[in-house]
Structure 1
Amino acid sequence: MKAFDNTLPPFCLHLMNQQEGKAARVPFLFLPLGVAAGKGPQGRGALCWALGGRALCCFAFPPSLASFLQAHSMAGEEGGSSGSSPAAEPSPGAAGGAAGGEGGGGGSSGYDGKCVFCRISHGEEGGTELLPCEHEDLVCFRDIRPGAPHHYLVVPKNHIGNCKTLKSEHIPLVERMMAAGKAILQRNKFTDLNDIRMGFHWPPFCSIAHLHLHVLAPASQLGFLSRMIYRINSYWFITAEQLMERLTSESATS
C-alpha cells in the first residue's frame, strides 16, 4: 500500500495495492482531527492524516486496529461513499432504501433483534437507562460517548433507517423527536434552547443503522473533537432544522 490521490477529500482516497499495482477506491471512515481510517487492499487497515482536504501521509496497520478505530468512530461501515454533502443533494427521498451501507430502508419495519437501538428501545439492554419521554413511539437515553455536558439520543421504537431515507411523511416524526430532545434538556435543568445542537449523521457516516437524533447542550461548550464530529454544514452531519427544511421542500414539490 503506498501512493494515493491527494486531490480527493480525506474520506475517499485512492490507495495503491503494491502487489497488484492496481488503484482501489476505498470507503473511509471519518475520525476527528482530519484522520480517515478504513480497510485497505487485502483487508489491511489504512490510516491517513489530512489537512484542508488534502491527504498528507498514509500507512498500513493490523486489521484488529482497523476494527477498533471503526468501532470508535462516528462513521458507517464500508458501503460506499456519501457522494456529496447533505446540503448539496437534492432530496433524501430520492435515495430510498439504497442510502448508506448500513442505513436500511425508509419507514418502519418493526423490530430488528440485531439492532442495538431496537433492543434498547424494548428494554432488552439492562446497561442503558431509558429516560422519561412523553411520546410513546420514542425513547430517550444518554449517549455512551457524550460530546457535551448534556448529550442524549432520541430514537424511534420501531426500526427506521437513517435520516437520508426519510420522506415528507416523516415530518411529524422528526418534529416529535425534536420536541422530545428539547423536553429532556429542560427536564435536566437546561433551559437555554438557543445554545443547543440537534442533528443526525448523514450516511455513510452513521454508526448505527437505526434513526437517532443527537441532542447536545450547551453547544457553546463543545470541545474540539465534538465540534468536528457534530459540525454544521459538513459532509457528515445535518442539523434537525436542515433536515426539516429538506423534507418540507420535498413535500411542497410532490
Structure 2
Amino acid sequence: MEECLFCKIIKGEIPSTKVYEDDKVLCFKDINPEAPVHVIVIPKKHISSLNDLTVNDEEVIGHIYTVIRKITKELGIADSGYRVVSNCNEDGGQTVPHVHFHVLGGKKLRISVV
C-alpha cells in the first residue's frame, strides 16, 4: 500500500530505530514510547487490520509471537514481564492501518481496561 506509514518504514523511506528484522517482520522503537521499552512489531506484508487476517496469515502471526519472545529476552524484559497490545480499527484505537503489535515493558505496567 503506497500511503501506509509502516509500509514506508519497511521500504526505508521513513527512518526507524530497528530492533529486529527478518524476511517476514520488522521491529522498531516507537517514536512516542509509553514505557521504557516500547517496540512496534509489524509483518512486512501489508494487512490493514486484524479483521483482514486470513488463514494464509497464520504463519506470519505465529512468527511475530516467536520474534516477540526473542526480542523481549534481548531487551531484558522477558523475565520481569511485558505487555503485547494490538488494536483493531478506529474505535479500537488503531491509528495506522497496518496490523501491528506494541510490546511494552521496563516498568510495572498498570492494569487498565477502558
In 2: Cα distance, 1:157 partner to 1:144 partner: 19
Larger relative contact order (C-alpha < 8 A, sep ≥ 6)?
A: 2
- What code does the residue aligned with 1:197 have? R
Which piece of structure 1 moves more, 143-152 or 168-177?
168-177
Name which one, 1 or 2, has greater alpha-carbon Rg: 1
Aligned residue in 2 for 1:142: 29
Alignment pair present for 1:211 and 2:99? yes
For residues 103-145 of structure 1, the C-alpha deviation after alignment (integer angstroms, 9 at most, x for no partner) is xxxxxxxxx221110010111113x122223x31110101112
- 2:41–2:100: 8 Å Cα contact kept in structure 1? yes
Q: 2:75 aligns with which of 173, 188, 198?
A: 188
Aligned residue in 2 for 1:113: 2
Q: What's the offset of the Cα at 1:213?
A: 0.9
Alignment pair present for 1:158 and 2:37? no
Q: What's the offset of the Cα at 1:201?
A: 0.6
In 2: Cα distance, 1:184 partner to 1:155 partner: 13
Q: Secondary structure at the match of 1:221?
A: coil
Aligned residue in 1 for 2:86: 200
Q: What's the offset of the Cα at 1:191?
A: 2.8
Q: What's the offset of the Cα at 1:199?
A: 2.4
**How high is the sequence identity, in percent, across the aligned residues?**
26
Give the alignment's TM-score, normalised by structure 2. 0.83
Q: What's the offset of the Cα at 1:207?
A: 0.4
Q: Secondary structure at the match of 2:89?
A: coil
Q: What's the offset of the Cα at 1:181?
A: 1.6
Q: What's the offset of the Cα at 1:215?
A: 0.9
The runs of 5 or more residues in structure 2 that have no matched partner are none
Q: What's the offset of the Cα at 1:161?
A: 1.1
Give the alignment's TM-score, normalised by structure 1. 0.40
- 2:24–2:60: 8 Å Cα contact kept in structure 1? no
Aligned residue in 2 for 1:167: 54
Q: What's the offset of the Cα at 1:158?
A: 2.1
In 1: Cα distance, 2:35 partner to 2:69 partner: 15
